[in-house]
Amino acid sequence: MIKLEDRIQISMRPVIHPGYNIDSDIEILWQLLKERRPSESISHTEMPTYEDHTRFVLNRPYLRWYFIVHNNEPVGAAYITHEDAFKQHYVGVAVFKNQRRKGYASMAIDYLKWEAEQIGISLVANINPANKKSIALFKQAGFNIIQHSYKFNV
C-alpha cells in the first residue's frame, strides 16, 4: 500500500495473477490502450487488434506488470520491461483519463523505482517528446534526460 499525503492509498496488483479473472485483466488493459493518444505513445503507431492485444498480454512481456488500484478498482497500469539488447529496463505508466491528476502515476513510479532498487536495476523512461505531462512527471520522479532519438521512415 502506498499513501499520498495520508489521503490517497493505492496498491499494485500484478497483471494476470492467480486468483484474478484473466479475461477481465485483458479487457481492462484494452480499455486503457484505447484511451491512449498518439502523442502519449512511443511504440504504437496504430491500435492493435483485440486478438493481438490478447496474445501480447498472455505472453507476459514484462519483468514486472501491475495494475494501479485505488478503492479496489484499477485506475491504471505500470510496468518494467525485461532487459533489452542494450541492458536497459524500460518503465511505463498509464492512467485512465478520468483518474488522472490524482497522484496515481507518481505513486506507481515511486513503487517501480523501489522495485528496481530491490532487484538492482536502473530504469529508463522512453517518452514521446510531445507528451509534456509525462516528461514533467518523470523529471519530478528523479529521472534525467539521457538522449534524443530521431527516426527516418522509408
| Contacts of residue 31, Cβ cutoff 8 Å, sequence gap at least 6 | 96
Q: Are 135 and 42 spatial neighbours (Cβ–Cβ below 8 Å)?
A: no
Q: Are 114 and 87 spatial neighbours (Cβ–Cβ below 8 Å)?
A: no
Q: Domain 2-140 class?
A: alpha beta
Which whole number is the average pLDDT over 126-130?
Answer: 87
At residue 9 the predicted structure's pLDDT band, cuts being 50, 70 and 90, is confident
At residue 4 the predicted structure's pLDDT band, cuts being 50, 70 and 90, is very low
Which whole number is the average pLDDT over 87-91?
Answer: 92
What does the pLDDT look like over 68-78, one tens digit per residue?
999 999 999 99
Q: Are 31 and 123 spatial neighbours (Cβ–Cβ below 8 Å)?
A: no
8 pLDDT above the threshold of 50: yes
Cell numbers for 80: 518494467
Task: Report pTM.
Answer: 0.87
Q: How far apart are the C-alpha atoms of 66 and 57, rounded to whole Å?
A: 12
